[in-house]
Amino acid sequence: MAANSSTGSATEPPGLETQWREIDNLNQQQLRSGDSWYLLDKRWYDQWKEYVHTGDQNSSSYPGKIDNTELYEDLDSYHLKERLTENEDFVLVPAEAWHKLLSWYDMMDDQPPLERKVVDLPSTVKVEVYPVEVYLCLSSNLESTVSARFSRADKIHAIHQKIRQHFNVSETAESRLWMRSTDTSSERLRNLNMTVLDTCLSSGMTVIMEIRNADGTWPTSRPQIMRNSADEDSYQGPPGVCGLTNLGNTCFMNSALQCLSNTPPLTEYFLKNSYLEELNFTNPLGMKGEIAEAYADVIKQMWSGRHYSVVPRVFKTKVGHFASQFLGYQQHDSQELLSFLLDGLHEDLNRVKKKEYIELRDADGRPDQEVAEEAWHNHLRRNDSVIVDTFHGLFKSTLVCPECNKVSVTFDPFCYLSVPLPVSKERVMEVFYVSLDPTAKPTQYRLIVPKAGRVIDLCAALSQATGIPPNQNPNPFKMAVADVFNHRFYRIYQTDEFLSCILDRDDIFVWIKQKLCLSCVMIVSLHRRYVRPLDPSEEVEEEEDEEELYKAQTNGVSDDEGEEDSEEAGPSKKEEETQESSQTEEQNNCQSEASPSSEGEERAEEEESSSEPDRGSSTEEGQSACGSTDTNSQDATDVDQSAGAEPSGKEEEDEDEDEEEEEPASCAQANKRLPGRRHYTERRKKALFTMQAVNSNGTTERGMGEADGSFSFSSQPYIAIDWDPDMKKKYYNENEAEKYIKHQSMDVPHQQTTVQLQECIELFTTVETLEEENPWYCPTCKKHQLATKILDLWSLPEVLIIHLKRFSYTKYSREKLDTIVEFPLRDLDFSGFLLKKTVNSTEPPCRYDLIAVSNHYGGLRDGHYTSYARNKDNGQWYYFDDSKVTYAREEQIVTSAAYLLFYQRQDKIRHPTIPPPIPSSTQPENHISSQTRDGMDGAASCVSMETD
């Protein structure tokens, strides 16, 4: 046959009538999106029809080989001519018809088949005659491009493979594609399973392949990497031993990332690029794969062995974008971040593309094994990812109605265990006690008080320790409790306030205040402890302009006014001097009996014990303590008259209040008469300090005084003392003001509570009654009930995360529990906690080894996160403190700061084949970045700047 003579590849065709019938039937099929159809030259096709219709195989109308020459623009590029018309220039046949014709008649040498795809356009389904023609290149050489044609129905994966083949890119090299429409605008082609049509890729655009660097970064991302400048290009360290830069209160994130980074199955999943095939871009519960990709970038950089520290800025931005609670740079919880991240990774990598609705069933008396298997199967029908494979286990939840005894049993998946810590009913508090004796140093006490107690309980404990009568009538002495911060009264507590509002780090001062002369207590006695008495020979006189300026600032009384007032008072000069002497002595006696107040954080001692005991009653000392400036003395005296209220404005009323106030009245009366005369006789002597009414922030508020220019504590309970710089340097002993005495109670070591991890797990599985805020709807009673609930462990995952609930929140208190939880580093046995017993030898054991720990140092309002982790390659433990990484010993790991524990099942642990590196002085410091972080200087020290 002629068909066979042209080429040896053609096969014996069937009869002509059969050929027509087969091809005609195939041509009748409907267009389906994604199917392939082929272009045939109309002339050749018409000749073939004439040939088969003649019924003569030896007819001269035999068409010969398939020839599409007329459809090509040229025979070099084989580009299809523009503006060709169907049924005039070409016909379209389905793929099966094309292959039959090709096998019967063959094709002209070197001509490529004109395959075209059926595309589903918004308004129609049609064969795409003219596909999208794009340019392909590598990011490393944007000038070297090659053109290629792709159907709008082709997946981006086809373009990806085309670039790999043309530019000889290894299949193991991780890459990503960018679509560029202009010289300045590029967009990621993230989902390789999307079609060209869906990505809006059109002819003339350029598709760029970017290949990941060996250090885990991308060439176009310009990442910020912390390196040692001396060997930034040659550094090669242990993979995974890499710090994370603190971006500002992000140590909570760094700690969680380090723990996950050292979770072997998850890290290997990303390092082997297994995630690329499982990215779920269509999951409405996910983040379109962006969280998974951002996490992969961080892991690949950390495990490249090329960096001392990585800056996770892009990851932080992605987290904030999808979880608004993590926007900005506020303090957060590492467990909250971990919970979000595990859930986000799961949904981004969920192998279930379309979740089906599943109606949950109660056990209804069925065997636990059956119900558990059903629950796990249903879980996997909607949730199937590497996170489920690695971290998910199964609870058994049992609820019992207290009214009808209905028992409800369900099995629920979990990703981590949040176990409670035993909570003590007592609390240790440290306070500074300031006695009435102005020569006594403040004393620091360690007290044991009820955790749910009130301030009155703190006073009672201090009363017992000091022997001072408690705050009870008719006792004239009262305890005032205040939080002192930055040399100011930050807060003054009422006796009925809960102790939970006082944090362990607060500096709490307790004073004995005597209602007989509270003004002396708050003003004079405080400074008397640290002020050296004036010597007459050292008195300094003020210049006139300074005195005038002083009078303007302190609203003092002028010379004339003072003289006029003294004349109006009536007594003669001699009588006034006699009265002044008597009243000054009376005032000083009041001062010596008054209780001191606080001005700073830790109060100090009195002068050396060798000081003269009667010095406190001298006129000079009274002046030095009160300021010795008469314009100020009037203000101070007016303040003293109303000083019966605490700085917080609290008023205490006793039954014998009228009798108690008799003596302050006489003191105040004497003080009122004193300033005018002293102003007249000593007006040019320089003041030690001035006093004025201020608000709680320490700033003056004008217009708050009384009509006569004085002020009262009822309207203005705060007084500020402003020292003259020269006089303060001369007479005020700042070193002495920082000293205090430690009571013997401070020598008793504070015993931290220690519990075993197993005890916490037992508490987790203890029967509890639901709270009123979270009742259970009983299907039998048809109403919400406070049912009893118990959680049991049914099955455990490969990697078990245990969250120690150190942050305790109740209606009475909020606190951070510093209980030491003794947790094993090896052989944590859960066999005693599992309800599901081993059925056969093929089931995994229940023993776990520790692989990572997230630590939290500090209290409720601030703190710092770090982590310990065991490197999966060399088995060495490391301590990660933001960008700083150091070697760690196993005995360092168990501390009261442990917050999240990561355990891996023993049968899944791969023993390291690489010996751990030996620390030496020739190594770069740490892999230790020299950058100063904004957190603690040491694991257990106080917080300096970081407040996470």
CATH number at residue 84: 3.30.2230.10
Show which of 717, 746, 775 is a domain's final residue.
Answer: 746
Show which of 89, 120, 151 is a domain's final residue.
Answer: 120
With respect to residue 713, please indicate whether it lies within any of the assigned structural domains.
no
- Is the domain of 350 the same as that of 390? yes
With respect to residue 105, please indicate whether it lies within any of the assigned structural domains.
yes
In this predicted structure, what is the pLDDT of residue 915? Answer: 58
- Is the domain of 867 the same as that of 891? yes
Q: Name the β-bridge partners of 412.
A: 395
- Is the domain of 483 the same as that of 363? no
- Is the domain of 316 the same as that of 341? yes
pLDDT along the chain (948 residues), means of 10: 43 87 92 91 93 81 91 85 91 94 90 89 86 91 90 90 93 90 81 88 91 88 51 74 93 96 96 93 92 95 92 92 89 94 96 88 86 93 96 93 90 93 84 85 91 89 85 66 85 88 87 56 60 65 50 41 41 43 42 36 38 38 38 38 37 42 42 45 65 72 51 59 83 81 84 85 86 86 90 93 86 76 93 74 78 92 91 95 94 94 90 57 39 35 33
- Is the domain of 39 the same as that of 147? no
In this predicted structure, what is the pLDDT of residue 559? Answer: 42
Candidate list 160, 527, 864, 927, residue with the active-site label:
864
- Domain carrying residue 155: 132-211
554 phi, psi to nearest 5 deg: -105, 5
With respect to residue 38, please indicate whether it lies within any of the assigned structural domains.
yes
- Is the domain of 761 the same as that of 904? yes
- Is 626 within 8 Å of 618 (Cβ atoms)? no
- Is 28 within 8 Å of 74 (Cβ atoms)? no
195 phi, psi to nearest 5 deg: -85, 165
pTM of the model: 0.66
In this predicted structure, what is the pLDDT of residue 231? Answer: 47
With respect to residue 547, please indicate whether it lies within any of the assigned structural domains.
no
- Is the domain of 251 the same as that of 348? yes
Q: Give residue for tokens 């007989």.
A: 516
With respect to residue 222, please indicate whether it lies within any of the assigned structural domains.
no
Domain count across the chain: 4
Cα distances (Å, whole numbers) of residue 74 to 44, 45, 303, 679 = 18, 21, 52, 114
- Is 42 within 8 Å of 87 (Cβ atoms)? yes
Active site residue 377: no
- Is the domain of 863 the same as that of 896? yes
With respect to residue 720, please indicate whether it lies within any of the assigned structural domains.
no
Q: What is the 3-state secondary structure (H, E, C) of 773-838?
A: CCCEEECCCCEEECCEEEEEEEECCCEEEEEEECEEECCCCEEECCCEEECCCCCEECCCCECCCC
Range list of H helices, 323-441: 334-348, 368-382, 386-391
In this predicted structure, what is the pLDDT of residue 534? Answer: 66
Candidate list 251, 520, 590, 778, residue with the active-site label:
251
- Is the domain of 313 the same as that of 398? yes
Q: What does the alpha-carbon distance between residue 187 and residue 658 come to, in Å, rounded to a whole number?
A: 83
In this predicted structure, what is the pLDDT of residue 651? Answer: 39
Q: What does the alpha-carbon distance between residue 169 and residue 583 come to, in Å, rounded to a whole number?
A: 100
Report residue 20 CA to chain centroid gap. Answer: 73
- What is residue 654's DSSP assignment? -
Q: Which of 233, 377, 252 is nearest to 306 (CA)?
A: 233
Q: What does the alpha-carbon distance between residue 40 and residue 68 come to, in Å, rounded to a whole number?
A: 6
Q: Which of 576, 658, 667, 660 is nearest to 626 (CA)?
A: 667
With respect to residue 890, please indicate whether it lies within any of the assigned structural domains.
yes
Indicate the helix (H) or strand (E) that contains 135.
strand 132-138
Provide the CATH number for the domain around residue 169. Answer: 3.10.20.90
Active site residue 404: no
- Is the domain of 768 the same as that of 877? yes
Q: Name the β-bridge partners of 801.
A: 902
- Is the domain of 853 the same as that of 764? yes
Indicate the helix (H) or strand (E) that contains 41.
strand 36-41
Range list of H helices, 323-454: 334-348, 368-382, 386-391
- Is the domain of 395 the same as that of 521? no
Cis previous bond, 474, omega within 30: yes
With respect to residue 560, please indicate whether it lies within any of the assigned structural domains.
no
In this predicted structure, what is the pLDDT of residue 76? Answer: 81
In this predicted structure, what is the pLDDT of residue 222? Answer: 59
Cα distances (Å, whole numbers) of residue 409 to 187, 397, 399, 689, 783 = 51, 6, 7, 75, 18
- Is 188 within 8 Å of 176 (Cβ atoms)? yes
Q: Assign 628 to helix, strand or coil.
A: coil
Show which of 88, 120, 152 is a domain's final residue.
Answer: 120
